[in-house]
Amino acid sequence: MGMVIDGKAVAKKYKEEIIEFTEERKNNSLRVPCLATILVGEDGGSLSYANNQKKLCEQLGVINRQVITESSVTEDRLINIIEELNNDCTVDGIIIQLPLPGHINEKSVTSCISRKKDVDGLTDINTGKFYKGEECFVPCTPQSIINLIKSTGCEIKGKHAVVIGRSNIVGKPAAQLLLNDSATVTICHSKTANLKEICKTADILVCALGKPGFITKEYIREGAVVIDVGTTVVDGKLKGDVCFDEVIDTAGFLTPVPGGVGALTTTMLIKNTCEAMIKNVH
C-alpha cells in the first residue's frame, strides 16, 4: 500500500510563512500584498476558482481585488484594464482567469501583463526566462507538482520522470522543472505509442491528460511517485486521471483528487504575489 501525498498538509507550511510575512508588515504599518484577479464573464468554474482565491487571500492577510467584466467585453477594453493594474502601485500580482471568450486573443491579452506582476508565469517574457533558466515567476501548477514530489523525501536527481501531457500551462513547464532538478524526462501525449510500457519505466509519473480514471495500475512501476493533475467533473464529483483505488496499491506515493495538486496551487499563486511585492517594493 502506497502513501497518500496530502496537498493540504504541504500547503500548510507555505500558508504559515505567508501569514508571518503579512502580519509582520501589518505590525510595522506597511502595505500588505495585493493580488488582482480578472474574470471575464461569470463562468461557474472560473467564478468558483476566483472566489476560492479571494477566500484564501483573506485567510492569509493578502488583499484580493476582483475585476469582473461582462463576457462581451472587447479585447481593447480588457487590455486597458490590465494596463491600469500594471500602473497601479498598490497591486503586486495580476492573474486573468482562463479560458477567455472566443472573440478575445488569449496570447495578446496575457502578454500585456507586466512581467513583474505576472505571478502565474503566463507572459512570453517570463516563459522565455523560465526555459532559459533565468529568474522569473514559475507557473503555479507545475511549481505545486515539484513541491509535492519533494515532500515525499524522494530525490528527483537521476530519476526517470514521465510527464503525460504537453500543454504550455502544465505538461511542458512540469517537464522543464523536473529537468532542472536533473531528472531524465520523457514527455508523452495523445500520439505516443506504447504509452503503458513507457509509464511503467517511470520513477516519477505526472499525469495531466484530462481523462478521468485513465491511468490504472498497469501503467505504474512498483514504488513510483505518481502525481495526478487531472480535474474532471464526473456526476458532480471531481475526478483525477488516475484510478486512485487501483494505483495506491502499486505506487509508493500518490496524490488524491481532490486534495492533491489543487490544494497547493492557489497557495503558490499567493506566495508568488508576496515575492512580487518583495522584488518590486514601491
For residue range 127-153, what is the model confidence (pLDDT) as tens digits? 999 999 999 999 999 999 999 999 999
**Residue 142 to residue 90: CA distance in whole angstroms:** 28
Confidence grade of residue 236 (pLDDT, cut at 50, 70, 90): confident
Closest CA to 183 of 166, 206, 200: 206
Q: For residue 77, say whether it is annotated as part of any ligand binding site.
A: no
Q: For residue 45, say whether it is annotated as part of any ligand binding site.
A: no
Q: What pLDDT score was predicted for residue 48?
A: 78
pLDDT in tens, 76-89: 999 999 999 999 99
Q: What pLDDT score was predicted for residue 118?
A: 97
The average confidence (pLDDT) of the chain is: 95
Count other Cβ atoms within 10 Å, centred on residue 168.
10
What domains, with CATH codes, occur in the chain?
A: 30-116 (3.40.50.10860), 140-262 (3.40.50.720)
Q: Where are the alpha helices (DSSP H) in the chain?
A: 7-27, 44-60, 75-86, 106-110, 124-132, 140-151, 171-180, 195-199, 244-247, 262-279
**Residue 165 to residue 214: CA distance in whole angstroms:** 13
**Residue 18 to residue 12: CA distance in whole angstroms:** 10
Q: Is the pLDDT of residue 43 over 90?
A: no
Instruction: Tell me whether strands 232-234 and 253-254 are parallel, antiparallel or unpaired.
Output: unpaired
Q: What pLDDT score was predicted for residue 44?
A: 60
**Residue 217 to residue 3: CA distance in whole angstroms:** 15
Phi and psi (nearest 5°) for 18?
Answer: -65, -45
Minimum mean pLDDT range among 44-53, 166-175, 198-207: 44-53
Q: What pLDDT score was predicted for residue 281?
A: 66
Count other Cβ atoms within 10 Å, centred on residue 179.
15
Q: Which three cell numbers stand for residue 109?
A: 491579452
Neighbouring C-alpha atoms within 13 Å toward the C-beta of 108:
11
Q: For residue 231, say whether it is annotated as part of any ligand binding site.
A: yes
Asked whether 205 and 253 are in contact (CB, 8 A), the reply is no
Q: For residue 41, say whether it is annotated as part of any ligand binding site.
A: no
Q: What pLDDT score was predicted for residue 98?
A: 86
| CA angle, 49 then 89 then 138, to 5° | 50
Q: What pLDDT score was predicted for residue 95?
A: 96
Confidence grade of residue 46 (pLDDT, cut at 50, 70, 90): confident
Straight-line distance from the first to the last Cα atom of the chain, in angstroms, rounded to the nearest whole number:
51
Q: Is the pLDDT of residue 117 over 70?
A: yes
Indicate the DSSP class of residue 215. B
For the CA atoms of 90, 92, 95, 96, the dihedral, rounded to the nearest 10 degrees, stands at 30
Instruction: Tell me whether strands 160-164 and 93-96 are parallel, antiparallel or unpaired.
Output: unpaired
Asked whether 230 and 209 are in contact (CB, 8 A), the reply is yes
